[in-house]
Structure 1
Amino acid sequence: MPPSRRRRSVTTVVATAGALALAACSGETSRAGNGVTSPSMSTSSDPTSSSPTSSNGSRATTNTRRSTVASGLDVPWGIAFLPDGSALVTLRDQARLVHVRDGAEPVTLGTIPGVQPDGEGGLLGVAVSPDYARDRRVFLSYTAAEDNRVVRLAFDGTRASRPEAILTGIPKAGNHNGGRLAFGPDGYLYVTTGDASDSARAQDRDNLGGKILRITQDGAAAPGNPFGNRVWTWGHRNVQGIAWAPDGRMYASEFGQNTWDELNLIEPGRNYGWPTVEGRAGRSGLTDPLVQWPTSEASPSGIAVADGAVWMTALRGESLWRIPLTSNGVGTPQRLLEGEYGRLRDAVLGPDGRLWVLTSNTFRGDPREGDDKVLAIPPGALA
């Protein structure tokens, strides 16, 4: 079923609480025949952890239509769901936080103070506390004047508090800023960081760049981290997607440089090789990707796990990749939606069982600026 083509403009609400008013990387990808898989991973048949769920542990699809949830957006970057099924979306270049709900006009909640958009930097990831019903906490990552950082605010559905920094000092640059946020099944916050154009950072375990971090809601190193600091894994160039299967296995998508983009199985303490290697190398002490793509076909960004597969958005590849999860690893990647919506930035499994996907087709100064979309697509209609 084709998506709705009606355009929805972003409505701004002018209510204040504290200082907050309420209410794209260049790409790199692979076709299925070029995906290189590894049989070394064992996993259950499906991922995602939310209700309602089907008998195999995946979120049941309660809405089977494809729709355009919102349009008229300016470079949406991250999306996270509230308990009522609505979602918060970050607009990278405008530093705005937007509230979206299928069937309603999107509402601008406000501009986040301190954000300084530059190149691939700006207002990036968003995550909602797993205890949101009690603590009302929302977490954001963004590029500030001197660094990338993670902040926390309280949002009651109408008003938000002034953001409070919980983690600062993450390296920043015009590109490779990481920025994805997500709570894992263990209740801790995972933060992806890029090498900020200095590849040596990725191999320095005392540097926050080129890592996946695991922290508490106060920004401290989470208990059980492999090196006693905030680092969960290292040797990354620019991770922009993380997601978990129902059995707790964690996956991450990563931008390569000139040769290979990657989908990795993430295990604590592992070194994923950058800049020593790019893609599969079979070197002792370094972890090879599950799948690799030529950079011309992917530029992977956000990922979701649903219906027995990892779903990976591609920027330069202008596609949604489906990577089946099998009992002994991964199956052959399948390229979907190729060119249908242009560049795709993020995919998150919604409470309605659909994949909510962000497009990323506009740039500062582009004649189409401000016409990106939030799409909702049933994964069963794509497989």
Structure 2
Amino acid sequence: MLAPLHKILFAIAITVPHVLAAQDAPPPNVSYSSDPEILEQGAQLFAQQCAGCHTLANDAIAPPLGGITSLLHEGQLTKWIREPEKVLASGDARANALLNRYKVAMPPFDHLATAQISSILAYIHHESDKRDLVSFKVATAQNQTRLIPAVEKSNLIIELEDFAQIPRLPNRPAYKGIAFMRPDPREDNAYFVSELMGLLYRLKDDKLTTFLDVREHFSRFVYEPGVATGLGSFAFHPDFSNNGIFYTTHAEIRHGSPAINADDIPDDAPEGVSPPLEWTLSEWRLDQINAPTFAGTRSEILRFVTPTTAHGSQEIDFSPVSDLTDPDYGMLYIACGDGGSINLKRPDMAGHPHAILGAIMRIDPMGTNAANGQYGIPPDNPFANSSDPLVHQEIWAYGFRNPHRFTWDDSPKPRMIAVDIGESNVEEINIIEPGGSYGWGVAALEGTTHIDPIVDAKIVRGATPEELAGTQLPHAQYDHIDGSAITGGFVYRGPLKALQGKYIFGDIVNGRIFYMNWDASLRDRSIYELNIIQDGVITDIRKLSKVDRAHLRFAYDDRSGDLFILTKDDGKIRRISNAYEATY
């Protein structure tokens, strides 16, 4: 299936035929404040609101912003910050060229007041003058070459119904909101829902209560800057109904606490505009098993460092085994992103067994044989018996940029499925093998394509067989023509016959919902798109949520077989109520 990709010429995703004429136009007459208080406010807001994707001088997830105030008028920049989709729809040449390069539009920052935006622009202008920064010139691409087969449209329809509404917290940015929903193991039809800003809710019969406010327990807790900063994930111990033990991850600004990967970050690693983070894994124990709100004890299991706010701790979870004699029972999996290593032009910091960054870890949270004595290294981990002192024995698999979500399918045998959000052109669905290398980082692979992390990570070509050798190829992948950021879902084993045996997942940004046929043979590697109906009307997630960026997530109740769709910005939880093939 992958052979045709190897025959593709080194198609460059970004060509350099000509630069937009507007970028060479005379600079506007600029008048920005130089008041120290305004510049300080702008610096703080830049770190909180912008630095998760932008720097001033270097290309990253999004373009560098140094010099932009000498290229575009304040009014143009303000409109772009508040209404990027409208600017794109107007045909603005530079905006659309940037979209072509980065494959994803900036979310609207319409929550910022005019004075706040002005202070950010004043800070950018002041720093640009001080550091002699010139505006980034984006080249237009003549043709966008597809390197990955297209997602296929199916005749399969799903019907959605509203299930729950999570309230918007005060001063919540658009990119924060609900992130995970899991069944309450203690009671049917009850759920826990996490909010990135630090709350863990309990939902039962349309009644929403705050089960845990993480902010009350950690004085250094932060949810900005960064898209995924905050309460990262949560997971219940397999025996939670009896022992009341669960786990969370959260972010803190790096302050020097002992971290299991502190020595992985080289002294010469460049500083990002966004600060380094410490991601902390905590264990919580309920005093009363059936308590509606948390009361009990907490202890720290481990923490690890990311050099920027990008791609930190994503999902944590236990494999779904209930047999106490199974070696995987009670083992906790922790997905770690690359921390923005590629954006710092340091691919050496991720994607190998000497680095936690870009890896999925597997630990025994009840064990004590790890270096800090707070958790255990499972003896069947692939590197558990390594004699190399630099190897992290916690690693289960490595070579990921942003392993956003993972799950298991146990039919006919347990298989771990993890998705990886791409940088330049490819979104991946991976079947995880212990000790497997999945290509991101030092190998400079994104799916079956190759990037240049030093010169320009947006330059993509088909990888050669020699470059792919020794890595686990993705089970499936899709191109950034079809979407921008994958979010993992679940293999459906519920009552809706049309969905049974299908892995349901989607794209965070455009909200498209996809599926793959997931049987014992796994021969069909095609990706298909589902059609959506709600209240009898054909629709899509962005229309339902009334947003430009869907912020799509999935949840699954393996007891009832209900599959849910979550959208962060509007706080909606919707249930798939029906599924069937369209007849024409």
TM-score (norm 2): 0.51
Whether the 8 Å contact between 1:89 and 1:126 is mirrored in structure 2 is no
| 1:310 matched to 2:503 | yes
| 1:183 matched to 2:318 | yes
**Corresponding position of 1:330:** 524
Gap change, CA 1:235 and 1:109, over 3 Å in 2: same
Whether the 8 Å contact between 1:309 and 1:322 is mirrored in structure 2 is yes
Aligned pair partner of 2:200 in 72, 85, 97: 97
> How far off its partner does 1:73 sit?
4.4
| 1:117 matched to 2:265 | no
> In the TM superposition, what whole-angstrom CA distance separates every residue of 1:8-33 from its partner, at most 9, and x where no partner exists?
xxxxxxxxxxxxxxxx99986x9x96
| 1:284 matched to 2:477 | no
Aligned pair partner of 1:153 in 279, 284, 304: 284
> How far off its partner does 1:298 sit?
4.0
> How far off its partner does 1:180 sit?
0.3
Gap change, CA 1:298 and 1:380, over 3 Å in 2: farther
Gap change, CA 1:341 and 1:193, over 3 Å in 2: farther
> How far off its partner does 1:257 sit?
0.5
> How far off its partner does 1:122 sit?
0.8
Whether the 8 Å contact between 1:70 and 1:100 is mirrored in structure 2 is no
Gap change, CA 1:160 and 1:378, over 3 Å in 2: farther
5+ long unaligned stretches in structure 1: 1-23, 37-63, 362-370
Distance 1:265 1:99 in 2: 32
5+ long unaligned stretches in structure 2: 1-51, 54-60, 62-102, 105-145, 153-158, 170-176, 255-277, 322-327, 342-346, 367-374, 385-392, 449-462, 493-499, 533-539
AA partner of residue 277 (structure 1)? L
AA partner of residue 301 (structure 1)? T
Distance 2:490 2:298 in 1: 27
Gap change, CA 1:268 and 1:100, over 3 Å in 2: same
Q: Secondary structure at the match of 1:330?
A: coil
Gap change, CA 1:344 and 1:193, over 3 Å in 2: same
Aligned pair partner of 2:164 in 69, 77, 83: 69
> How far off its partner does 1:203 sit?
2.3
Distance 1:145 1:382 in 2: 49
AA partner of residue 423 (structure 2)? Q
Distance 1:191 1:254 in 2: 14
> How far off its partner does 1:328 sit?
3.5
Whether the 8 Å contact between 1:127 and 1:183 is mirrored in structure 2 is yes
Aligned pair partner of 1:135 in 220, 243, 247: 243
Whether the 8 Å contact between 1:69 and 1:373 is mirrored in structure 2 is yes
Alignment of 1:137-286 (within 5 A): 137-146=245-254, 147-155=278-286, 156=289, 157-158=291-292, 159-171=294-306, 173-184=308-319, 185=321, 186-187=328-329, 188-198=331-341, 199-218=347-366, 219-228=375-384, 229-246=393-410, 247-275=413-441, 276-280=444-448, 281=463, 282=465, 283-286=468-471
**Corresponding position of 1:374:** 573
> How far off its partner does 1:217 sit?
2.2
Q: Secondary structure at the match of 2:436?
A: coil
> How far off its partner does 1:166 sit?
1.0
Whether the 8 Å contact between 1:260 and 1:293 is mirrored in structure 2 is yes
> In the TM superposition, what whole-angstrom CA distance separates every residue of 1:131-167 from its partner, at most 9, and x where no partner exists?
1122111111111222112111124332332432112
> How far off its partner does 1:174 sit?
2.0
AA partner of residue 164 (structure 2)? V
AA partner of residue 253 (structure 1)? V
Distance 2:567 2:212 in 1: 21
Q: Secondary structure at the match of 1:133?
A: helix
> In the TM superposition, what whole-angstrom CA distance separates every residue of 1:78-130 from its partner, at most 9, and x where no partner exists?
222222131111111x21111112x3221112320322112121101111111
Q: Secondary structure at the match of 1:138?
A: strand
Gap change, CA 1:330 and 1:220, over 3 Å in 2: farther
Gap change, CA 1:321 and 1:231, over 3 Å in 2: same
Distance 1:177 1:226 in 2: 23
**Corresponding position of 2:85:** none
Whether the 8 Å contact between 1:225 and 1:268 is mirrored in structure 2 is yes
Q: Secondary structure at the match of 2:349?
A: helix
Distance 2:507 2:284 in 1: 30
Distance 2:297 2:580 in 1: 41
**Corresponding position of 1:20:** none
> In the TM superposition, what whole-angstrom CA distance separates every residue of 1:255-290 from its partner, at most 9, and x where no partner exists?
110110111111100000003211114411111111
| 1:346 matched to 2:553 | yes
Higher relative contact order (CA 8 A, sep 6+): 1
Distance 2:361 2:567 in 1: 26
Distance 1:143 1:379 in 2: 38
> In the TM superposition, what whole-angstrom CA distance separates every residue of 1:345-369 from its partner, at most 9, and x where no partner exists?
43222122111222123xxxxxxxx
Whether the 8 Å contact between 1:148 and 1:168 is mirrored in structure 2 is yes
In our comparison, the structure showing a higher alpha carbon Rg is 2
State, as a whole percentage, how many aligned pairs show the same letter: 21
> How far off its partner does 1:253 sit?
0.7
Give the CA RMSD over aligned residues. Answer: 2.8
**Corresponding position of 1:360:** 568
TM-score (norm 1): 0.76
> How far off its partner does 1:308 sit?
0.9
Whether the 8 Å contact between 1:175 and 1:196 is mirrored in structure 2 is yes
Task: Return 341-350 or 183-192, whichever deviates more.
Answer: 341-350
Give 1 or 2: higher strand fraction. 1
Task: Return 188-197 or 81-90, whichever deviates more.
Answer: 81-90
Aligned length: 321
Distance 2:207 2:485 in 1: 30
Whether the 8 Å contact between 2:313 and 2:337 is mirrored in structure 1 is yes
AA partner of residue 284 (structure 2)? L
AA partner of residue 192 (structure 2)? L
> How far off its partner does 1:319 sit?
2.1
> How far off its partner does 1:192 sit?
0.3
Gap change, CA 1:172 and 1:242, over 3 Å in 2: farther
